[in-house]
Amino acid sequence: MARNRHTAEQIINKLREAEVGLSQGQTVAQVSRGMGVSEQTFYRWRNEYGGLKIDQVKRLKQLETENTRLKRAVADLTLDNQILREAAEGNF
């Protein structure tokens, strides 16, 4: 089965549709099958995106991207700092 990448907007819309189905008495299995995803994916999406609006999800993704970039920069600077300390101590 081919894997689809869903955008945040698509996920939120599918979760809204799922809530309607669940309120009408459908099971999670029926709802997730109707959305074309597994139950595990449905629960993961609900934990990650449940209760968020589209603009909030966009901001969350921007912050996650920025956080990853900053972590990488800190790691690079830490490595440079360690190299300079060793060179200053003469342990090269």
92 Cβ contact list (under 8 Å, min separation 6): 86
Share of the chain above pLDDT 70, in %: 95
Which residue is listed with tokens 């990448």? 5
- Confidence bin at 91 (pLDDT 50/70/90): low
Mean pLDDT for the chain overall: 89
Closest CA to 37 of 59, 57, 17: 17
Assess contact for 7 and 49: CB atoms under 8 A: no
Question: Encoding tokens for residue 57?
Answer: 């999800």
- Specify the higher pLDDT residue, 92 or 58: 58
- For 14-18, 49-53, 58-62, 64-68, which range has the lowest pLDDT when averaged over its residues? 49-53
Q: How far is 15 from 57, CA to CA, in rounded Å? A: 13
